[in-house]
Amino acid sequence: MTSVIHDIGYRHYDGKRLGRAYAVRSLFTHNLRAAYGLGRPVKAKIMPFLLCAIMLMPAAISVAVTAIAAQVGAGRDVQLIRYSAYAVYLQPLIAIFLAAQAPVIASRDLRFHVTPLYFSRPLSRLDYVLAKYGAFTTALFILLATPVTILYIGALVTKQKHIGTHTVHWLAAVAGCLLFALVLAGLGLVVAAFTPRRGFGVTAVMAVYLLSTTAVAAVQGIAENQTQFTVAQWAGMFAPFNLVDGVQVWALRAKQSAPEPPPSGIGGPVFTLLCAALIVGCVAILYLRFRKAGAK
């Protein structure tokens, strides 16, 4: 009996062991709350809730304008913002939320070298990464899907025509929001996990989004000037929002919201495959990053 050597007479814990599932669940809720600054000082809540409020504003205004227009009888001409276009139109705000909150999830444990404390629990590395990824994806999904749902409720309340089509489009848009959340959360967490220093992670995540998006926009603009439309369409897959919008267009039958649709033919499947590869790749990189994180 080896345990005897260490038994110096303290009382043993003989309560219930909550186990791995409980640890994963706790980590998930903790990180989901942390993404919105809940359970932290007021200062940490300002940014996420401010961005959330700004995200909701266009949807609320759109519903209000439609409702007023319906009252004065101009309802034919005024339409709600398209559900699947919402994330693409407001992408700067979503990107700021992503950049501001990804380091909160991914960098803090690294910065303060506390990962060994997590891994001394019945929690595997993969559990840890998946719990964080899931939590951040959920946080982003809440940010994206809430305004879209407000628009849909607005459509119901103002008694829009073709409510069946509205429902289908809304469901497709919510699926699109989930895809946006999955891709963006993956990218954000990977970049933030490699830049643990405070403030720097925010800039790094932003750099990845802003540079890819503006570079693609510039290439697309130039390619269109030269009437090379296929080049312009293929270029879309190098920017996250254009990529996911391409998948929305192909897989979810949405109208295109990014400047260019995916190329016809194999374009849609390629965009979708790339999306899937991106999500899996991000989880794999995060796993590798956190596998040795406790070493230093």
Instruction: Give the interface with other proteins as residue ranges (CB under 8 A).
Output: 40, 43-44, 46-47, 54, 90, 92-93, 95-96, 99-100, 108, 194-195, 197-200, 202-204, 206-207, 210-211, 213-215, 217-219, 221-222, 225-226
Q: Which is nearer to other proteins, 78 or 217 (CB)?
A: 217
CB of 211 to other proteins, least distance (A): 6
294: helix, strand or coil: helix
CB of 90 to other proteins, least distance (A): 8
Q: Which is nearer to other proteins, 161 or 197 (CB)?
A: 197
CB of 168 to other proteins, least distance (A): 29
90 in Cβ contact with 189 (< 8 Å): no
Closest C-alpha to 292, from 128, 92, 50, 170: 128
Closest C-alpha to 63, from 166, 140, 171, 143: 166
183 in Cβ contact with 240 (< 8 Å): yes
CB of 223 to other proteins, least distance (A): 9
CB of 258 to other proteins, least distance (A): 15
Cα separation, 137 vs 157, in Å, equals 29
Cα separation, 176 vs 174, in Å, equals 5
Cα separation, 170 vs 84, in Å, equals 8
Question: E-assigned strands of 164-230?
Answer: none
Q: Which is nearer to other proteins, 177 or 202 (CB)?
A: 202
Q: Which is nearer to other proteins, 119 or 194 (CB)?
A: 194
End-to-end CA distance of the chain: 34
Q: Which is nearer to other proteins, 37 or 261 (CB)?
A: 37
CB of 30 to other proteins, least distance (A): 14
User: What helix, strand, coil percent values describe the chain, rounded to 5?
Assistant: 75, 0, 25
- CA 255 to chain CA mean position, Å: 21
Q: What is the CA radius of gyration of the chain?
A: 23
CB of 263 to other proteins, least distance (A): 19
Cα separation, 17 vs 290, in Å, equals 25
CB of 99 to other proteins, least distance (A): 7
